[in-house]
Structure 1
Amino acid sequence: MLFVGFFLCTLLLSAQRNMNKDFVNIRMVPDHQDWTYKVGEKPRLKVSVEKSTTPVGSVMLTYAIGPEMMAPTLTKKVTLKDGTGTIDMGTVKEPGFLTCRATVVVDGTTYSNWVTVGFEPEKIQPTVPYPKDFVEYWEGQKEIADRVPLDVEMQLLPDRCTAKVNVYEVSYAVNKSGARFYGILCIPKAEGKYPAVLHVPGAGVRPYNGVIDMAEKGIITLQVGIHGIPVTYPDRLYRDLRTGILQSYNTYNLDQRDNYYYNRVYIGCKRGVDVIFSLPQFDGERVAVTGGSQGGALSVVVAALDSRIKCLSAFYPALSDMTGYLHNRAGGWPHMLRNAETVNRANNTKEKLETISYYDVVNFARQLKVPVFFSWGYNDQVCPPTSTYSVYNVVTAPKYLMLMQETAHWAYPEQYRAGNDFILKQFNLK
Structure 2
Amino acid sequence: MKRWHMGSWLLVLLLAAQGLAAAPRCTGRMDRKSALYQPGETAKVTLLWSEDKKPLAEGTFTVAATVDGMHELTRRSFDLAQGNPAVWELPLNEPGIVQFEIVESSFGGKGVAAAAAIAPDKLALPAERFDPLPFWQKARADFKAKATITRRDLPQFSDAGRKTELLVCEVGGKEKFYAFWCRPAAPGQYPLLVNTPSHGMGPFTPALEFPRTDFVPEGVMTLAVNIHRFPPQATAAAQKAAFDKIAGYYFCRPGTSIEDYYFTAAVLAIQEFIDYVAQQPECDSRHIVAAGSSQGGGLTLISAAINPKITAAAVNVPAFCDFSPASGVRMKGWPVSRSGFDQSAETAQVMRYFDAGNLAAAIKVPVVFSAGYFDRVCPANGIYAVYHAVPGEKSMYPMPISAHVVLPGYLAVVDEFIRKQLK
Q: Fold-level match, TM-score > 0.5?
A: yes
Question: 2:353 corresponds to which residue?
Answer: 358
Residue 29 in 1 paired to residue 29 in 2? yes
Which of these residues, 193, 197, 202, is aligned with residue 201 of structure 1?
Answer: 197
Which of these residues, 385, 407, 416, is aligned with residue 411 of structure 2?
Answer: 416
Give the Cα separation in 2 of the matches to 1:309 and 1:149: 20
Which of these residues, 370, 373, 376, is aligned with residue 375 of structure 1?
Answer: 370
Question: 2:151 corresponds to which residue?
Answer: 153
Counterpart residue type for residue 381 of structure 1: R
Q: Secondary structure at the match of 2:273?
A: helix
Give the Cα separation in 1 of the matches to 2:243 and 2:75: 37
Answer yes or no: is the 8 Å Cα contact 1:187–1:221 preserved in 2. yes
Answer yes or no: is the 8 Å Cα contact 2:155–2:164 preserved in 1. yes
Residue 172 in 1 paired to residue 173 in 2? no
Give the Cα separation in 2 of the matches to 1:226 and 1:406: 31
Counterpart residue type for residue 284 of structure 1: S
Deviation readout 1:93-112 (Å, 9 max, x if unpaired): x3222211127879x77464
Question: 1:185 corresponds to which residue?
Answer: 181
- Closer, same or farther: CA 380–177 of 1 in aligned 2, 3 Å: farther
Counterpart residue type for residue 165 of structure 1: R
Answer yes or no: is the 8 Å Cα contact 2:45–2:114 preserved in 1. no
Q: Secondary structure at the match of 2:177?
A: strand
Question: 2:277 corresponds to which residue?
Answer: 276
Answer yes or no: is the 8 Å Cα contact 1:192–1:281 preserved in 2. yes
Question: 1:7 corresponds to which residue?
Answer: none
Answer yes or no: is the 8 Å Cα contact 2:27–2:47 preserved in 1. yes
Distance apart, 1:57 and its partner CA: 3.9
Structure with the largest fraction of strand: 2
- Closer, same or farther: CA 72–50 of 1 in aligned 2, 3 Å: same
- Closer, same or farther: CA 336–46 of 1 in aligned 2, 3 Å: closer
Question: 1:120 corresponds to which residue?
Answer: 119
The percent identity for this pair of structures is: 22
Give the Cα separation in 2 of the matches to 1:233 and 1:129: 48
Question: 2:16 corresponds to which residue?
Answer: none
Counterpart residue type for residue 151 of structure 2: E
Distance apart, 1:297 and its partner CA: 0.7
Counterpart residue type for residue 419 of structure 2: L
Counterpart residue type for residue 290 of structure 1: A
Question: 2:3 corresponds to which residue?
Answer: none
Give the Cα separation in 2 of the matches to 1:307 and 1:402: 25
- Closer, same or farther: CA 404–75 of 1 in aligned 2, 3 Å: closer
- Closer, same or farther: CA 334–280 of 1 in aligned 2, 3 Å: same
Deviation readout 1:252-276 (Å, 9 max, x if unpaired): 3331122222211111111121232
- Closer, same or farther: CA 233–206 of 1 in aligned 2, 3 Å: farther
Question: 1:136 corresponds to which residue?
Answer: 134
Question: 1:348 corresponds to which residue?
Answer: 344
Distance apart, 1:205 and its partner CA: 2.2
TM-score (normalizing by structure 1) = 0.83
Give the Cα separation in 2 of the matches to 1:104 and 1:357: 37
Distance apart, 1:131 and its partner CA: 2.4
Unaligned runs of 5+ in 1: 1-16
Q: Secondary structure at the match of 2:251?
A: helix
Distance apart, 1:186 and its partner CA: 1.4
What are the equivalent positions in structure 2 for 1:257-296 lying under 5 Å apart? 257-296=258-297
| Larger displacement relative to structure 2 (60-69 or 118-127) | 60-69
Q: Secondary structure at the match of 1:150?
A: strand
Give the Cα separation in 2 of the matches to 1:336 and 1:110: 23
- Structure 1 outlier segments of 4+, above 6 Å: 103-106
Counterpart residue type for residue 403 of structure 2: A
Q: Secondary structure at the match of 1:386?
A: helix
Q: Secondary structure at the match of 1:366?
A: helix
Answer yes or no: is the 8 Å Cα contact 1:65–1:89 preserved in 2. no
Aligned length: 399
- Closer, same or farther: CA 48–103 of 1 in aligned 2, 3 Å: farther
Residue 83 in 1 paired to residue 96 in 2? no
- Closer, same or farther: CA 240–319 of 1 in aligned 2, 3 Å: same
Answer yes or no: is the 8 Å Cα contact 1:127–1:324 preserved in 2. no
- Closer, same or farther: CA 83–301 of 1 in aligned 2, 3 Å: same
Answer yes or no: is the 8 Å Cα contact 2:252–2:336 preserved in 1. no
Distance apart, 1:246 and its partner CA: 3.7
